[in-house]
Amino acid sequence: MAKLDSFQERFQGELQAELRELEAREQRRSLAEIHGTNLCSNDYLELSRHPALKEAVERAVRDAKHIGGTGSRLLSGHAAAWEQLEEEFAEFAGTEAALYFGSGYLANLGLLTALQKKDDLVFSDALNHASLIDGMRLSGARKIIYPHRDLNTLEGGLRKHAHERGRKLIVTESVFSMEGDIAPVTEIMKLAERYGAGVIVDEAHATGVQGPAGRGIAVRDGIAQQLAAAVHTCGKALASAGAFVCGSAALKEHLINHARTFIFSTAMPPYMGEQIRGAVGLARTMDRERAGLMAKARRLASGLRSGGWDTGRSETQIVPLIIGKNEAALSAAEHLQLQGFAARAVRPPTVPPGSARLRFSLTCGISDDELLRLENSLSNWREKLPSSAAVARV
Ligand SMILES: Cc1ncc(COP(=O)(O)O)c(C=O)c1O
């Protein structure tokens, strides 16, 4: 009998072949350190290097009885301090209660799988984040994807399924992570009420940045208490880690009993609670930084638009530059890197096919000069393109 290839030989060969395939489609990702002016950070308020926050963490580590999570919150990982922090965060988010998860990804997965079952229905914005999509998939519920922010199609779907008995949830981001636009959450809430559905809003890119004192879009629009749940992540503007699912006290109890990503995961290190508390305290006071950040983003978006670039419908600190082809987006990113900007191309499947882009996420310390230099560098790149190369234009 001919000798079979060992598992290891075959396995490594298959992995290499798949990677080569990704490479051929310009879709192979790789890890690289950031250099130069950072245009792809979610540290919107630059709290990750704030001296007061660093001190809060140092103090918390020094005073901590232990610095490990030690077990799931349902076993040894619970402490009164977590409960206290959750109460404080619920007040920030405008809800009755909150439950802390180890990451936003885990929060969305845990929330959706705990709430939805096979006979239920989820209405999902076409541009929702992968963590929401994965949560819906894993829940087994039927999914109805409506085009991005399209209330007519959403209403059509809700009407069509109005007489079904299963639970219906509408799921949307508030600030969309790849577009930088904002969901019409008040109108979505009205539709939900009309057709007996609930609403989940993922505030990941709004937390700390949008709404009064950075409390998010649901607080801004006065609908936080009507939501089935809001998800606020701590790894972006709050420069920490983890995420809160915010809603009623009953939702919190339900999640403690059913959210598998909460139940079967080790608690975060206790000092992280102090980092989050410190960050929320600072973020609440940063109205000036928030206003400056939005003014810079508006200037960049309007400068790019008047230069003929497609920046979609950005109205926040996230400004996409939609280029179209993967190859062109990669070339633009490379050009900017050579000019001293840390910019990354975002390609399908993260964004819809044919809409490869650069995603500029601005932080409050970036200067007007740097933004002007960015616009000039992009113009230089476009001028050097062969005339046959298609770049999306408005
Ligand atoms: C909209 C949205 N939701 C959830 C997440 C996941 O959050 P985390 O990074 O804390 O896992 C992200 C992160 O990129 C996001 O953009």
- Helix then strand then coil, % of the chain, to nearest 5: 45, 15, 40
Q: Report the pLDDT value the prediction gives residue 389, as an integer from 0 to 100.
A: 59
Q: How far apart are the first and last CA of the chain?
A: 65
Predicted confidence at residue 38, as pLDDT, reads 95
Q: In what order do the strands lie in the sheet with 97-101?
A: 97-101, 243-247, 229-233, 198-202, 168-173, 121-125, 142-146
For ligand 1, whether the C-beta of 101 sits within 6 Å is: no
Q: What local confidence, expressed as pLDDT, does residue 384 receive?
A: 84
Tens of pLDDT, residue by residue over 346-370, are: 988 888 889 999 999 999 999 999 9
Q: Which amino acid is at 299?
A: R
User: Buried (b) or exposed (e) across 260-277, using 16+ Cβ within 10 A?
Assistant: ebbbebebbbbbbbbbbb
Q: Is the pLDDT of residue 387 over 70?
A: no
Mean pLDDT of 95-114: 98
pTM as predicted: 0.95
For 171-194, what is the mean pLDDT? 97
Ligand 1 binding pocket includes 104 (Cβ within 6 Å) = yes
CA distance linking residue 82 with residue 286, whole number of Å: 25
Each residue's pLDDT tens digit, 7-34: 999 999 999 999 999 999 878 888 988 8
Per-residue pLDDT at 318 exceeds 90? yes
Question: Taking Cα atoms as reference points, which of 127, 172, 185, 177 lies closest to residue 319?
Answer: 177
**If you average pLDDT over residues 57-64, what whole number do you get?**
96
CB 242 within 8 A of CB 85: no
User: What mean pLDDT value characterizes the chain?
Assistant: 95
- Residue of 42, 148, 182, 233 with the most ligand 1 atoms within 8 Å of its CB, for mutation: 233
Integer-rounded Cα Rg, in Å, for the chain is: 22
pLDDT for 392: 57
Ordered by where they begin, the domains of the chain are 33-47+287-384 (3.90.1150.10), 64-284 (3.40.640.10)
**What is the average pLDDT across 285-291?**
98
Q: Is 243 in the pocket of ligand 1 (CB under 6 A)?
A: yes
- Selection from 25, 30, 27, 101 nearest residue 276 by Cα: 101
Measured by CA distance, the residue closest to atom 8 of ligand 1 is: 104
Main-chain dihedrals φ then ψ at residue 335, nearest 5 degrees: -60, -45
Catalytic residue positions, numbered: 42, 129, 173, 177, 202, 205, 236
For residue 388, pLDDT over 90 is answered with no
- CA dihedral for 14, 17, 21, 27, sign (positive or negative): positive
Q: Which two tokens stand for residue 39?
A: 């245009």
Q: Tokens 């209403």 — which residue?
A: 155
pLDDT-based confidence at residue 164 (cuts at 50, 70, 90) = very high
DSSP H helices in 74-184 = 80-93, 104-115, 130-139, 151-160
| Ligand 1 atom having least distance to the Cα of 235 | 10
Mutate to test the pocket of ligand 1, among 105, 261, 344 (most ligand atoms within 8 A of CB): 105
Residue 283 has pLDDT above 60, yes or no: yes
Mean pLDDT along residues 215-243: 98
How much of the chain exceeds pLDDT 90, in percent? 90
Distance of CA 217 to the CA centre of its chain: 14
